[in-house]
């Protein structure tokens, strides 16, 4: 859980120093209300060739965020648009036994949620094919 900061103090006055103090107080409040965007420290490669029946793991890593809760959703695109991969909700998605129908483009959607507000980052797209 995020550390609670001291409540910002508002100053009434028109002196530039007073206005700067109010801007700092406003910035402190915004910082508390909005989640950080997840930053990928380990991303997917552009492509991978997987031997049939082998295990294939797709893994990403995010730096820790100061505020909010991270969630992961892996997606696959074969033609057209991406679809969520059911039960693929961690930083690693593993295909236990690779088959031709597993071919496609994979990515992970990382969401940081705080106060019902989200900040979303997408991993690199990885084109996965079956090795000859």
Task: Give the predicted TM-score (pTM) of the model.
Answer: 0.74
- Number of helices (H), then strands (E), in the chain: 1, 10
pLDDT in tens, 9-28: 655 655 556 667 777 777 66
One CATH from 3.40.50.720, 3.30.499.10, 3.40.640.10, 2.60.40.10 for 40-130: 2.60.40.10
Q: Where are the beta strands (DSSP E) in 51-103?
A: 56-59, 61-62, 69-77, 83-84, 92-95
Q: pLDDT of the chain along its 132 residues, tens only?
A: 556 656 556 556 555 566 677 777 776 666 556 778 888 999 999 999 999 999 999 999 998 677 789 999 999 998 889 999 999 999 999 999 999 999 999 999 999 998 888 889 999 999 999 998
């Amino acid at each position: 859980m995020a550390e609670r900061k001291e409540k910002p103090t508002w100053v009434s006055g028109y002196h530039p120093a007073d206005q700067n103090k109010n801007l700092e107080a406003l910035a402190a409040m915004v910082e508390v209300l909005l989640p950080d965007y997840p930053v990928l420290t380990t991303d997917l490669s552009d492509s991978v060739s997987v031997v049939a029946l082998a295990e294939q793991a797709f893994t990403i890593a995010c730096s820790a965020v100061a505020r909010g809760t991270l969630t992961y959703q892996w997606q696959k695109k074969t033609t057209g648009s991406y679809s969520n991969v059911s039960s693929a909700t961690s930083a690693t998605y593993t295909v236990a036994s690779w088959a031709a129908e597993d071919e496609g483009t994979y990515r992970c959607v990382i969401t940081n949620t705080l106060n019902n507000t989200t900040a979303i980052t997408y991993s690199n797209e990885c084109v996965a094919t079956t090795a000859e």
